[in-house]
């Protein structure tokens, strides 16, 4: 049976260096790592991670809890985290909650039982989260992604959701829109949507108008035309809609077009996230673009620092307003 010493001899390194290449790859030069991995593949050697875990009390596994993978904003973030984790010798254990707060506790408990070395989480509401209450009593490194309102001392990585939606609303106001509404999924399942609604309200109030109630859809990424019709079919119908995410905006555009509404001539639509799919549509989607890859890398980097015993500050990343064809100047009636 092939052992680590055989791999080391074939690679031309010491046994200690070969062991370190598997256990702590970030501490071994890339050229040396490649020699060790090539020798391992040639000899059919697989390192015994179970034995290493018992010896070091480290699984080299990071738990990642996300609301869903059907939304590209999370899958693109996950890919960036997975690539960076692999470079540092970690694997990811991924679970989704489908935006259900009750499922978060089940997912978290399973990850804790697996003895993960750290956690990257996106919870429904960071201010009222049983998961965070539990983790506050655990000696485990944790980073919150997309939850800027998480209580201290949790480390967070996100964009400024309120300011981003404020800027999106201001963009519509400068184009002459006065009857602007905002659409979101079940707001109790997303503190991000609540912050974005606050940004909408702030911009509308500063312009001297009264904010409208949030148009709440039964699902986070699918618009229900029956919920929307009363807002766009009345004599004082809305001329612009802000959506709490891009998939919801895309669904809204599709529903409007199927009902004969012209987007953006009759109704302008703005999304939030900046997924690539939005650029492929006709009309292309105007949206707030979050740096998904940078956010994933920042979350993973912050967690690795915490695992190493280093301090890691909360981070607020930049966003951009991506102009698209789904927004036009308001028609003067």
Q: Does domain 58-159+295-317 have CATH number 3.40.50.2300?
A: yes
Statement: residue 51 has pLDDT above 60: no
Mean pLDDT of 13-23: 84
Other CB atoms within a 10 A radius of the CB of residue 27 amount to: 12
Phi-psi sector, 303: left (phi>0), alpha (psi -120 to 50), beta: alpha
Mean pLDDT of 174-181: 96
Secondary structure letter of residue 234 according to DSSP: S
Q: Dihedral of the CA atoms 293, 298, 304, 306 (nearest 10)?
A: -150
Q: What is the pLDDT of residue 152?
A: 86
Q: What is the pLDDT of residues 244-281, one digit of tens each?
A: 999 999 999 999 999 999 999 999 999 999 999 999 99
Mean pLDDT of 41-69: 75
Q: Are 325 and 284 in contact (CB under 8 A)?
A: yes
Look-up: residue for tokens 């960076």? 84
CA-to-CA distance for 158 and 178, rounded, in angstroms?
30
Q: What is the pLDDT of residues 182-239, one digit of tens each?
A: 999 987 778 899 999 999 999 999 999 999 999 999 998 999 999 999 999 877 799 9
Question: Across the chain, what does the average pLDDT equal?
Answer: 91
**Could you tell me the CATH superfamily of domain 161-291?**
Response regulator (3.40.50.2300)
Please give the angle made by the CA atoms of 214, 216 and 219, to the nearest 5 degrees.
150
Q: What is the pLDDT of residue 54?
A: 45
Question: What would the CATH number be for the domain defined by 4-47?
Answer: 1.10.260.40
Judge if the upstream peptide bond of residue 283 is cis by omega within 30 degrees of 0: yes
Q: What is the pLDDT of residue 166?
A: 98
Closest CA to 216 of 247, 246, 181, 177: 181
Q: What is the pLDDT of residue 48?
A: 62
pLDDT band for position 333 (cuts 50, 70, 90)? low
Q: What is the pLDDT of residues 123-170, one digit of tens each?
A: 988 988 999 999 998 889 999 999 998 888 899 999 999 999 999 999
Look-up: residue for tokens 């986070």? 220
Name 289's bridge partners.
273, 320
Q: Are 62 and 117 in contact (CB under 8 A)?
A: yes
CA-to-CA distance for 317 and 298, rounded, in angstroms?
9
Please give the angle made by the CA atoms of 108, 111 and 116, to the nearest 5 degrees.
130
Residue 331, SS3? coil
Q: What is the pLDDT of residue 21?
A: 84
Where exactly are the structural domains of the chain?
4-47, 58-159+295-317, 161-291
| DSSP letters for 196-220 | HHHHHHHHHHHTT-PPPPPEE-SSS
Q: What is the pLDDT of residue 102?
A: 86
Looking at per-residue pLDDT, the higher value among 55 and 180 belongs to 180
Q: Are 149 and 209 in contact (CB under 8 A)?
A: no
CA-to-CA distance for 168 and 197, rounded, in angstroms?
11
Fold match flag (4-47 vs 58-159+295-317)? no
Q: Are 201 and 231 in contact (CB under 8 A)?
A: no
Statement: residue 296 has pLDDT above 80: yes
- For the whole model, what pTM was predicted? 0.81
Q: Are 131 and 137 in contact (CB under 8 A)?
A: no
């Amino acid at each position: 049976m092939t052992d680590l010493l055989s791999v080391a001899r074939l690679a031309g390194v010491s046994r200690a260096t070969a062991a370190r290449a598997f256990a702590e790859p970030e501490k071994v030069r890339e050229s040396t790592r490649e020699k060790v991995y090539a020798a391992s593949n040639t000899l059919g050697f697989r390192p015994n991670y179970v034995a290493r875990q018992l010896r070091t009390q480290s699984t080299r596994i990071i738990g990642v809890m996300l609301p869903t993978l059907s939304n590209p904003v999370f899958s693109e973030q996950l890919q960036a985290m997975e690539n960076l984790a692999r470079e540092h010798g970690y694997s990811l254990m991924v679970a989704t909650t489908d935006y259900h707060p009750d499922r978060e506790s089940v997912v978290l408990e399973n990850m804790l039982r697996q003895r993960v070395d750290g956690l990257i989480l996106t919870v429904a509401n960071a201010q009222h989260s049983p998961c965070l209450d539990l983790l506050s009593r655990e000696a485990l490194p944790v980073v919150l992604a997309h939850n800027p309102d998480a209580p201290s001392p949790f480390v967070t990585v996100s964009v400024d959701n309120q300011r981003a939606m404020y800027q999106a609303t201001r963009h519509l106001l400068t184009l002459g829109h006065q009857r602007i509404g905002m659409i979101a999924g079940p707001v109790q399942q997303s503190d991000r949507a609540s912050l974005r609604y606050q940004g909408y309200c702030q911009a509308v109030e500063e312009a001297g108008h009264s904010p409208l109630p949030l148009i709440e859809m039964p699902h986070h990424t699918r618009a229900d035309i029956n919920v929307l019709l009363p807002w766009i079919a009345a004599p004082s119908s809305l001329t612009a809609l802000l959506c709490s995410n891009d998939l919801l905006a895309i669904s809204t555009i599709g529903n409007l077009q199927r009902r004969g509404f012209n987007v953006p001539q009759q109704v302008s639509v703005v999304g939030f996230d900046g997924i690539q799919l939005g650029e492929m549509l006709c009309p292309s989607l105007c949206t707030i673009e979050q740096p998904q890859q940078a956010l994933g890398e920042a979350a993973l980097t912050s967690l690795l620092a915490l695992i190493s015993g280093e301090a890691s500050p909360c981070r607020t990343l930049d966003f951009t307003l991506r102009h698209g064809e789904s927004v036009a100047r308001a028609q003067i009636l």
